[in-house]
Amino acid sequence: MSSGNNDCKVYVGNLPQDIRERDLEDVFYKYGKIIDVDLHNANGRGGGIPFAFIEFDDPRLGAIFMILLCNQLLL
């Protein structure tokens, strides 16, 4: 259901192994309307650290996250 507009996507890495899409939505909903959560979770596939791309409806949020959240742990 992704719109394909990478300007609205924010990468979130180094997530806990038991992370769920809902967990990410609960953290990020306050920053804007979430269009899609693309969670790459290696559970059951032999390892790897989960990461996600969160897509918002406002492309300005990508730039805001780069400025405000650089080197800050959200979860």
Q: Note whether residue 73 is domain-resident.
A: no
Does position 2 have pLDDT exceeding 50, yes or no?
no
Examine residue 37 and state whether it is found in any structural domain, yes or no: yes
Range of the domain at 34: 6-68
Long-range contacts of 52-55 (CB under 8 A, 24+ apart): 52/11, 52/12, 52/15, 52/19, 52/21, 52/24, 53/9, 53/10, 53/11, 53/12, 54/9, 54/10, 54/12, 54/24, 54/28, 55/2, 55/3, 55/5, 55/8, 55/9, 55/10
- Does 1 map to a domain? no
Better-scored residue on pLDDT, 71 or 9 = 9
Q: How many domains does the chain have?
A: 1
- pLDDT above 70 (res 75): no
| pLDDT tens digits, one per residue of 18-72 | 999 999 999 999 888 999 999 998 665 556 899 999 999 998 887 777 666 665 5
